Amino acid sequence: MTVAERLRAAGCEVAENYPLAARTSVRVGGPARFFVRPNDSAALIATLQLCAEEKIAVVPLGGGANCIVGDGGVDGCVLRLGIGFSDYDTELIRDTIDHVRITFGAATSSGRIAQLCKELGLVGAEFIAGIPGTLGGMVTMNAGTRAGEMASVVDAVEITTARGATWLNASALGFAYRRSMLPPGGIVTRVRLNLRQGSPSEIEASGRAVEADREYRKRTQPLTLPNSGSVFANPPGEFAGQLIERCGLKGRSEGGAQISEKHANWIVNTGGAYARNVVALMALAQREVKTRFGVTLRPEVKLLGTFDPPLPSELIEVVQ
């Protein structure tokens, strides 16, 4: 049996030479050797075991936000968790009258989490509504907004490897600004959040906070064009977008990619962009900010797969 046939026999949906651009929010990137969707834990574990046996790289891909896939694609197994890891897995535990721990499947979208919290009257994770993507990806990068970050609400995470699944407390995940330290080869499969049962006034205030954040994002971020979200993490005491703008780079274009005229820490696809165009603008912004301000910008987005031409040395130094 071929690798694809063995993956299907394990209970996965499998596509070969699968175009990834449409699976990313910025709409760039080449194909995956295998695009695999395991629909339950057994299929996921079998996939990880098979890939380890065949020495095939595994690249998790959630909602496709906050990542840029190279034009050469991914010579490996791009993993997208299926329906078995979605919100139907929701479990709610009431520890006290107002303290609640709620478990979501890692494939649950941020919008669905916000909706469920609203339906259940839970408060504490309003910021999640302003983050595109799925819960697993949000935990992996400790995603956040002005209003909060994942580290503030995560209680524990289920990590699945080729050896099986295990729960880790948040304290073991090494959360830092826009990053975490997951075990090598581990895939986030379920996440338990610490939230509160809100009073009527808190629930009303929560709804207002979500709507205010949504309006703020509409005003300040280029949400109408394909993008990968914030490109660089904010340096200590600075804002990456302001530094890039002060270098006069707002609106700078490369092929179909552009440093957004609305927010300089966002690169948008105005039509027909390639990953190489996006990377060229990233390298330009990083180089100019370093030259003018002595500040090294660290990418917040994940750079996945093969880039042609290869990634500029200044990006490689901070990505690896």
Residue 146: exposed, middle, or buried by beta-carbon count in 10 A (0-12, 13-18, 19+)?
Answer: exposed
Please choose, from the candidates 74, 77, 27, 32, the residue with its C-alpha nearest in 3D space to the C-alpha of residue 308: 74
What's the average model confidence in pLDDT over 177-189?
Answer: 91
Mark which of 188, 218, 248 sits at the end of a domain.
218
Please choose, from the candidates 135, 150, 130, 127, the residue with its C-alpha nearest in 3D space to the C-alpha of residue 63: 135
Do residues 190 and 287 both lie within one domain? no
Do residues 243 and 280 both lie within one domain? yes
Which of 18-22, 180-184, 230-234 is predicted with the least confidence, judged by mean pLDDT? Answer: 180-184
Domain count, the chain: 3
Name residue, tokens 């703020």: 216
Contact 280, 254 (CB under 8 A): yes
Please choose, from the candidates 110, 84, 302, 87, the residue with its C-alpha nearest in 3D space to the C-alpha of residue 213: 110
pLDDT score of 317? 46
What's the average model confidence in pLDDT over 165-174?
Answer: 95
Amino acid at 232: F
Mark which of 218, 247, 279 sits at the end of a domain.
218
Angle between helices 200-220 and 110-120 (to 10 degrees): 160
Contact 150, 144 (CB under 8 A): yes
pLDDT score of 320? 37
CATH number of the domain enclosing 106: 3.30.465.10
Beta bridge partners of 92: 102
CATH number of the domain enclosing 68: 3.30.43.10
Percent of the chain whose pLDDT exceeds 90: 70
Q: How far apart are the first and last CA of the chain?
A: 36
What's the average model confidence in pLDDT over 146-160?
Answer: 92
What's the average model confidence in pLDDT over 266-278?
Answer: 97
Strand positions, DSSP E, 170-309: 187-197, 227-230, 253-254, 257-259, 266-269, 302-304
Query: DSSP state, 58?
Result: E
Which of 61-75, 213-227, 283-297 is predicted with the least confidence, judged by mean pLDDT? Answer: 213-227
Q: Is the pLDDT of residue 171 over 90?
A: yes
pLDDT score of 118? 87
Residues 267 and 279: their CA atoms lie apart, in Å, by: 10
Do residues 76 and 93 both lie within one domain? no
Mark which of 201, 218, 235 sits at the end of a domain.
218
Give the β-pairing of 257-259 and 99-105: unpaired
- Per-residue pLDDT band for 90 (boundaries 50, 70, 90) equals low
Q: Hey, is 47 helix, strand or coil? A: helix
What's the average model confidence in pLDDT over 21-49?
Answer: 96
ω into residue 222 within 30 of 0, thus cis?
Answer: no
Q: Is the pLDDT of residue 316 over 60?
A: no
Q: Is the pLDDT of residue 112 over 60?
A: yes
Instruction: Give backbone dihedrals phi and psi of 145, rounded to 5 degrees, phi first.
Output: -135, -170
pLDDT score of 178? 87
CATH number of the domain enclosing 283: 3.90.78.10
Do residues 68 and 92 both lie within one domain? no
pLDDT score of 159? 97
Residues 281 and 277: their CA atoms lie apart, in Å, by: 6
Higher-pLDDT residue of 312, 162: 162
Do residues 105 and 182 both lie within one domain? yes
Do residues 187 and 75 both lie within one domain? no
Higher-pLDDT residue of 1, 253: 253
Active-site residue (options: 33, 112, 178, 190): 178
Do residues 173 and 283 both lie within one domain? no
What's the average model confidence in pLDDT over 89-96?
Answer: 70
Element (H, E) at 13: strand 12-19
What's the average model confidence in pLDDT over 109-135?
Answer: 89
Q: Is the pLDDT of residue 100 over 70?
A: yes
pTM summary value: 0.90
Is-catalytic flag, 54? no
Instruction: Give backbone dihedrals phi and psi of 290, rounded to 5 degrees, phi first.
Output: -65, -45
Do residues 80 and 90 both lie within one domain? no
Number of H helices, E strands in the chain: 8, 18
Amino acid at 77: C
Do residues 107 and 128 both lie within one domain? yes
Do residues 59 and 96 both lie within one domain? no
Active-site residue (options: 158, 245, 254, 300): 300
Contact 108, 188 (CB under 8 A): no
Question: What's the domain range around 146?
Answer: 85-218
Active-site residue (options: 86, 206, 228, 230): 230
Is-catalytic flag, 178? yes
What's the average model confidence in pLDDT over 148-152?
Answer: 91
Q: Is the pLDDT of residue 207 over 90?
A: no
Q: Hey, is 166 helix, strand or coil? A: strand
pLDDT score of 96? 73
Which of 31-35, 91-95, 116-120 is predicted with the least confidence, judged by mean pLDDT? Answer: 91-95
Q: Is the pLDDT of residue 101 over 50?
A: yes
Do residues 201 and 287 both lie within one domain? no
Strand positions, DSSP E, 91-247: 91-94, 99-105, 122-123, 144-145, 148-149, 154-161, 164-169, 187-197, 227-230
Structure tokens at 22: 């449409």
pLDDT score of 83? 87
Residues in contact with 151: Cβ distance below 8 Å, sequence separation at least 6, in sequence order: 142, 144, 170, 175, 180
- Per-residue pLDDT band for 105 (boundaries 50, 70, 90) equals very high
Do residues 90 and 180 both lie within one domain? yes
Higher-pLDDT residue of 198, 167: 167
Averaged confidence pLDDT in the chain: 91
Is-catalytic flag, 230? yes
Measured CA to CA in angstroms, residue 320 lies from 162, 299, 314 at distances of: 24, 11, 11
